[in-house]
Amino acid sequence: MAPPFATMQGTLARAIAAHQAGNLAEAEFLYKLVLQADKKQFDALHLLGVIEGQRGNFAAGIERLNRALRVRPKATDVLINLGRMQGELAMRAEAVSTYKKALSLDPNSPLAHSNLAILLRQLKQYDEAFVHCDRALALAPDYADARSNRGNVLFDLGRFDEALVDYDKAIALQPRHPRAQVGRGNVLVELRRHNDALGAYDRALASDPDLAEAWFGRGIALEMMRRHEEAFQSRDRAFTLKPDLKYAEASRLHSKLQLCDWTNLDIEIASFLERLREQKSASVPFMLLPMPLSASEQQRFAQRYVQDVPSFAQVWNGRAYAHDRIRLAYASSDFREHPVGYAAAGLFERHDRARFETTAISLGPAEDSPVRRRIEAGFERFIDCGAQSDREVADLVCDLEIDILVDLNGYTHGGRRGIFARRPAPVQVNYLGYAGTMGADYYQYIVADRAVIPPEHFEFFDEKVVWLPDTFLVTDVQSVSSGETPQRSELQLPDTGLVFCCFNQSMKLGPAIFDVWMRLLQAVDDSVLWLRDSGAAATRNLRNEAVRSGVNADRLVFAPRVPLVADHLARHRQADLFLDTLNYNAHTTGSDALFAGVPIVTQIGSTFAARVGASLNHTIGMPELVAESLQAYEALALKIARQPALLASLKAKLADSRENSPLFDTARFTRNIEAAYMTMYERYRRGDPPENFAVQPA
Beta strands 600-603 and 577-579 are parallel
d(CA 598, CA 396): 44
Reported as a single tens digit per residue, the pLDDT across 423-463 is 999 999 999 999 999 999 999 999 999 999 999 999 999 99
Q: What is the pLDDT of residue 10?
A: 87
- Residue 615 and residue 471 in contact, taking contact as beta carbons nearer than 8 Å: yes
DSSP 3-state assignment of 603?
A: strand
Q: What is the pLDDT of residue 611?
A: 98
For the chain, percent helix, then strand, then coil, each to nearest 5? 60, 10, 35
For the chain, what percent of residues have pLDDT higher than 90?
A: 90
The amino acid at 284? V
Q: What is the pLDDT of residue 550?
A: 98
Tell me, rounded to whole angstroms, the distance of Cα 255 from its chain centroid.
12
Q: What is the pLDDT of residue 23?
A: 94
- Which H/E stretch holds residue 694? strand 693-694
DSSP 3-state assignment of 326?
A: strand
DSSP 3-state assignment of 430?
A: strand
d(CA 465, CA 454): 10
On the question of pLDDT at 257 being above 80, the answer is: yes
On the question of pLDDT at 168 being above 60, the answer is: yes
Q: What is the pLDDT of residue 2?
A: 42
In angstroms, the Cα distances linking 201 to 184, 222, 226, 436 are 8, 11, 17, 32
Reported as a single tens digit per residue, the pLDDT across 510-522 is 999 999 999 999 9
d(CA 582, CA 629): 10
On the question of pLDDT at 351 being above 70, the answer is: yes
On the question of pLDDT at 135 being above 70, the answer is: yes
Other CB atoms within 10 Å distance of the CB of residue 288: 27
Interval 186-206 mean pLDDT? 96
Work out whether the CA dihedral 53, 55, 58, 59 comes out positive or negative: negative
Confidence of residue 6 (pLDDT cuts 50, 70, 90): low
Q: Which residues lie below 8 Å from residue 573, measured CB to CB, with a gap of 6+?
A: 485, 596, 597, 598
Reported as a single tens digit per residue, the pLDDT across 384-416 is 998 888 999 999 999 999 999 999 999 999 999
- b/e string for 66-102 if b means 16 or more Cβ within 10 A? ebbbeeeeebbbbbbbbbbbbbeeebbebbbebbebb
Reported as a single tens digit per residue, the pLDDT across 527-549 is 999 999 999 999 999 999 999 99
Q: What is the pLDDT of residue 505?
A: 97
Reported as a single tens digit per residue, the pLDDT across 639-690 is 999 999 999 999 999 999 988 899 999 999 999 999 999 999 999 999 999 9
Reported as a single tens digit per residue, the pLDDT across 475-493 is 997 765 567 899 999 999 9
- Domains of the chain, each with CATH number or no CATH: 4-225 (1.25.40.10), 326-469 (3.40.50.11380), 483-663 (3.40.50.2000)
Please give the model's pTM, rounded to 2 decimal places.
Answer: 0.92
For the chain, what percent of residues have pLDDT higher than 70?
A: 98
d(CA 440, CA 463): 8
Interval 60-77 mean pLDDT? 95
On the question of pLDDT at 117 being above 90, the answer is: yes
Confidence of residue 285 (pLDDT cuts 50, 70, 90): very high
- Residue 213 and residue 179 in contact, taking contact as beta carbons nearer than 8 Å: yes
Burial class (CB in 10 A: 0-12, 13-18, 19+), 690: middle
d(CA 229, CA 218): 12
Interval 211-232 mean pLDDT? 97
On the question of pLDDT at 13 being above 70, the answer is: yes
Mean pLDDT taken over the chain: 95
The amino acid at 442? Y
The amino acid at 394? A
Reported as a single tens digit per residue, the pLDDT across 542-591 is 999 999 999 999 999 999 998 888 888 899 999 999 999 999 999 999 99
- Residue 295 and residue 457 in contact, taking contact as beta carbons nearer than 8 Å: yes
Q: What is the pLDDT of residue 1?
A: 37
Q: What is the pLDDT of residue 482?
A: 63
Burial class (CB in 10 A: 0-12, 13-18, 19+), 265: middle
Q: What are phi and psi of 690, to 5 degrees?
A: -60, 150
Interval 317-322 mean pLDDT? 93
Other CB atoms within 10 Å distance of the CB of residue 23: 14
Q: What is the pLDDT of residue 157?
A: 86
Q: What is the pLDDT of residue 481?
A: 58
- The partner residues of 465 in beta bridges, in order of sequence, read 446
d(CA 100, CA 80): 10
